[in-house]
Chains A and B, each alone.
Chain A
Amino acid sequence: MADRTNLKETGAAVRRRRRFDGWTLLAWIAGGAVYLFLVVPVLVIILSAFSPNPYPEFPPTEFSLRWFREVFQSEPWMRAIGFSLWLMVIVTVLTVVLGTTAAYGISRLEFRGKQALLSFMLSPLMIPQVVMGIALLYIFTAMGIIRTMAGLVIGHIIVSFPYVIRTVGVSLSNLDPKLERASMNLGAGPVQTFFRITLPLIRPGIVAGGVFSAVTSFGEVSISLFVVSPSNMTVPVRIFNYIDQTFDPSVNAISVIFIAVAVLALIIIERTIGLTKVM
């Protein structure tokens, strides 16, 4: 034990010395600059959204809600927001159900090729989305659901699915297997055990997965562009078409709404399962 206190003392000495270390200072400056680089574009958008001028200026001179008013009074923007929200709800519910059941099934089974199957289920995170977009464009055309809500829902489920598999997977692996075994030993069948024991215990993972699905669906554009119908656009697709052609400051206001949604989602994920576990 004497050794350990010794080590602690050395550690403290090292730490004291480190405080004035040039390298540490350098690391902090470099790190700070990187965070600045990450946050500046977001701040610029937020500042421009609250400025009355069509072009961003720094430092901002006036505060106004003009662009927000414009968005909320514009019929096409409101229609797109309504459609995106609707889509988000459908996608979230379906993805959570499909993802939770699949994550449960695969976590409780042992078979050859389980790892490969898991990689397959997580693969939409890595596959170039442009490739997924055309693959779906072709099959949806063949099935006659191109440019329909169904096609969009399917495309969004595919990209949200891996998140639910991950978050629910984390919850399942934290679950004490003794609880399920006790339930079965007391005579409950697997179905009853799942609904009475497992489901309530993995709720944080399910909620986090749902939040991920919701924000993924709400912001999805790469696949949507291939399968969306021009008369029923989602918000990101509409933004894409807008900024591809013109520069419209109401996009700033919309962006602020998106950023607010992201921060809200972040809080929910942190409260339920913890950010460090899933990212």
Chain B
Amino acid sequence: MARTSRTPGAESAGKYRRNLFSWVMLTPGLIFLGVFLAVPFLLLFVISFRDVDNWMNMLPTYSLNQYIEVFTSRFYLHMIWTTLWVAVVTTVICIVLAYPAAYLLVRAPNRAVRTALYVILVSPLLTSVVIRTFAWIVLLAQNGLVNEVLMKLALISEPLRLLWNLNAVIIAYVQVMLPFAVLPIATSMGEIDPRLRQASMSLGAGRLRTFWKVTLPLTIPGMMSGAIIVFSLAAGSYITPLLVGGRLQPLLPLAIYQQVLQVANLPLGAAMSITLLLLVGVLVAGMGLILRRWEGRLHG
């Protein structure tokens, strides 16, 4: 640090001014997020304890009724279970598929190939989710491309019903969210010192053993951060399930959307939202803990 020959007083006055300026810069953003992010969530939390009358008007009383409804009805419990199940399946498939994709990205033989792979990976992230989902409607519809190709190949005689089920939701989810898994895995793969693998192989370990003992453990942080993003997105989206799965799929985000915009039961929607938020939060925090533990083991 290059210090000039300033007096300590001037130094601290300068520091004070710098800090003051930094706080002034930070404040507008903080106020904005406070008013439009923190306060709305606080209100949502409060509303989830309100009661409604038969016409869905909010009553001035507070109770746990909405939560009791969510956690005692088999309908909602099944829904919570399905939501988590779909999110877990999506996450696992994404991580498994992302691994070879990340490998290709890291080992691309030249810059042109790597750029092309990057474009394939990142351009969907910059395209609206409506459009990415729309592609799957075009592919999977009764008169869609998959059915047409299968019919032309005479593998099927009647179009299959590929849309409007949870499989369609998972397929679309995987394709929409895969880049979020590939990028962190590729990052942690790229950071591995190639000499580690060479050392392992020159010590007599084969390709597979080297992969299990060296590459895989070192890429677990990337896999975990990918899994965290994919899981929280898959548990919280409603656009994709609505468009390829239909309105009747037992998924929590979908039910929240309908409860609020169609049934207009805001307190029940709020209670379901808080439930979803807590479930995702707890599971993501758990995955984050594993991630930090593992990183501690690797670098500590």
Contacts and interface: CB of A to CB of B under 8 A. Distances in A.
B286 interface: no
B79 to A, nearest CB: 13
25 contacts: A23-B207, A23-B208, A31-B100, A35-B117, A58-B148, A98-B29, A99-B29, A102-B29, A105-B24, A108-B22, A121-B33, A125-B229, A132-B37, A134-B44, A137-B260, A138-B43, A157-B36, A158-B37, A161-B33, A239-B131, A240-B130, A254-B131, A259-B127, A261-B126, A279-B125
A184 B30 CA distance: 26
B123 A262 contact: yes
A65 interface: no
A101 B120 contact: no
Contact of A126 (B29, B138, B149, B232): B232
Interface string A67-91: 0000000000000000000000000
A262 B132 CA distance: 12
A279 B145 contact: no
B104 interface: yes
A219 B129 contact: yes
Given A101-B29, A109-B19, A126-B229, A266 B236 contact: no
Contacts of A226: 260-261
A262 B213 CA distance: 39
A198 to B, nearest CB: 10
A276 interface: yes
Chain B contact residues: over half helix, strand or loop, or mixed? helix
Interface in B5-29: 6, 14, 17-29
Interface in A218-261: 218-222, 225-226, 235-236, 239-240, 243-244, 247, 251-252, 254-255, 258-259, 261
A181 interface: yes
Given A134-B266, A136-B36, A190-B17, A185 B239 contact: no
A2 interface: no
Nearest to A276: B187
A66 B134 CA distance: 19
A113 to B, nearest CB: 12
Given A31-B100, A108-B25, A262-B126, 7 more contacts: A37-B175, A42-B123, A131-B276, A132-B37, A191-B21, A255-B134, A262-B123
A109 B23 contact: yes
A56 to B, nearest CB: 5
Contacts of B261: 225-226
A243 B134 contact: yes
Contacts, number: 281
A185 B104 contact: no
B236 A105 contact: no
Contacts of B84: none
A126 B284 contact: yes
B135 A41 contact: yes
A258 B126 CA distance: 9
B128 A258 contact: yes
B296 interface: no
Contacts of A124: 37
Nearest to A107: B22
Interface in A21-48: 21, 23-24, 27-28, 30-35, 37-42, 44-45, 48
B130 A27 contact: no
A128 B232 contact: yes
A158 B130 contact: no
Nearest to A32: B104
A1 interface: no
A218 B144 CA distance: 28
Contacts of B40: 132, 135-136, 138-139
A239 B260 CA distance: 21
B44 to A, nearest CB: 5
